[in-house]
């Protein structure tokens, strides 16, 4: 997560949405000019120019950290600043997001049939997650803009335009890529039972962002 006092924005960090790449792109605006250096992991950073949440494996004891809820971010900062700053995040089709999470968390291997079977077992036995708290407070949307993962560069460009930041897509890092087997159709991972589970768990996202099961 990010807070920039230089450019007056707040970035809340969702899960499996290229969020670390986006975070890395914008975090230079949370530091004094020319201080930023790319780091895959990062310690919690707080200065008069901004905040960068801890990015690592153990956030215990950190005030600002990866994937904080919007409510917690708001609680830890001045309410006027929260209200006035431009707030954004990245969203992704839930059906696609869950498959991405499976490959990232499990690092599975095997035939296409085995991967599909393992995904279904994983999802039915604790793999389901919802990170709605990152862009809602008390069940209501609390951010100003959503970058759609499916149109990532365009969305980042729109944020840059709003913040009067030069858009340099060639500088967007490609992190955590090439983990997933993209040779398998997304549709193949889901049977009717699992589609129903996702529809129920992600009813809010499917309705608000107009996502549907991919054709």
- 193: pLDDT confidence band, cut at 50, 70 and 90? very high
What beta strand segments (E) does the chain contain?
A: 2-4, 9-11, 45-47, 50-52, 86-91, 136-137, 140-141, 145-148
Hey, which residues does 117 pair with through a beta bridge? Answer: none
Residue 177 pLDDT? 59
The tens digit of pLDDT for each residue in 135-186 reads 999 999 999 999 999 999 999 999 999 999 999 999 888 766 556 667 899 9
For the residues 195-215, what does the mean pLDDT come to?
Answer: 95
Residue 38 pLDDT? 87
In three-state secondary structure terms, 201 is helix
Query: Distance of alpha carbon 164 from its chain centroid, rounded?
Result: 22
Q: Which of 4-8, 23-27, 30-34 has the lowest mean pLDDT?
A: 30-34
Q: Cα separation of 153 and 71, whole Å?
A: 27
From residue 179, alpha-carbon distances to 74, 166, 182 in Å are 33, 30, 9
Q: Which residue has the higher pLDDT, 26 or 181?
A: 26
Cβ partners under 8 Å of residue 94, min gap 6: 198, 201, 202, 205, 206, 211
């Amino acid at each position: 997560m990010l807070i920039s006092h230089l450019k007056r924005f707040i970035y809340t960090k969702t899960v499996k949405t290229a969020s670390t790449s986006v975070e890395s792109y914008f975090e230079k605006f949370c530091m004094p000019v020319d201080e930023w250096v790319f780091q895959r992991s990062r310690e919690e950073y707080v200065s008069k120019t901004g905040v960068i949440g801890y990015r690592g494996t153990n956030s215990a004891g950190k005030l600002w950290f990866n994937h904080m809820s919007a409510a917690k971010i708001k609680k830890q900062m001045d309410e006027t600043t929260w209200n006035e700053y431009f707030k954004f995040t990245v969203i992704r089709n839930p059906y696609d997001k869950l498959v991405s999470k499976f490959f990232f968390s499990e690092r599975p291997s095997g035939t296409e049939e085995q991967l599909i079977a393992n995904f279904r077992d994983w999802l039915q036995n604790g793999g389901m997650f919802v990170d709605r708290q990152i862009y809602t407070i008390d069940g209501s949307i609390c951010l100003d803009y959503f970058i759609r993962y499916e149109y990532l560069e365009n969305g980042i460009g729109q944020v840059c335009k709003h913040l009067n930041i030069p858009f340099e897509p060639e500088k967007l890092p490609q992190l955590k890529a090439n983990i997933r087997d993209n040779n398998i159709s997304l549709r193949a991972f889901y049977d009717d039972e699992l589609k129903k589970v996702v529809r129920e768990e992600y009813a809010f996202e499917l309705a608000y962002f107009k996502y549907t099961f991919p054709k």
